[in-house]
């Protein structure tokens, strides 16, 4: 077995042991990251839902994930939705109320919906969320 093959096998094993979902690949067009402004640390364990706008007033669920120990979901678009990923409006919903309830901490926002416009299905989009119990900020990252 070549050194390259060993390295690839090791990487695949590491990803499997880390429990990354099948859709968390480098080719995934959407990632998120949540940082806790109160503690200065990543926010692990936040459920994040992804939806696509259909028509003018309806949202179609595409999938969801949970932030890892680094506060990230490296690939939010599920593998079965990748072939239909296209330009349009998408909603990323951070379920912050669940997160703070588990920590037995009061918070003002039960969820934080962030609507984004995807202009090109070939680009990667990154949505960071800076979070505290009573405020948040977000922007387009890279």
Report CA dihedral (10, 11, 16, 18) to the nearest 10 degrees. 110
Q: Tell me the CA distances in angstroms from 20 to 40, 69, 93, 106, 136, one per residue in order.
A: 24, 11, 20, 30, 26
- Binding-site positions read 33, 72, 139
DSSP 45-102: T-EEEEEEEETTTEEEEEEEEE--TTSEES--S-GGGGGG--SEEEEEEE-HHHHHHH
- Binding-site positions for substrate read 33, 72, 139
């Amino acid at each position: 077995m070549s050194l390259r093959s060993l390295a690839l096998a090791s990487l695949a094993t590491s990803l499997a042991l880390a429990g990354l979902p099948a859709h968390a690949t480098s080719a995934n067009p959407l990632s998120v990251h949540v940082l806790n402004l109160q503690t200065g640390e990543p926010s692990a364990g936040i459920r994040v839902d992804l939806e696509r706008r259909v028509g003018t007033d309806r949202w179609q669920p595409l999938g969801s994930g949970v932030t890892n120990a680094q506060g990230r979901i490296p690939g939010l678009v599920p593998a079965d939705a990748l072939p239909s990923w296209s330009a349009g409006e998408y909603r990323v919903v951070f379920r912050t109320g669940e997160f703070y309830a588990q920590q037995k901490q009061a918070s003002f926002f039960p969820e934080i919906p962030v609507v984004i416009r995807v202009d090109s299905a070939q680009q990667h989009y990154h949505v960071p969320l800076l979070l505290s119990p009573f405020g948040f900020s977000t922007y387009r990252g890279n």
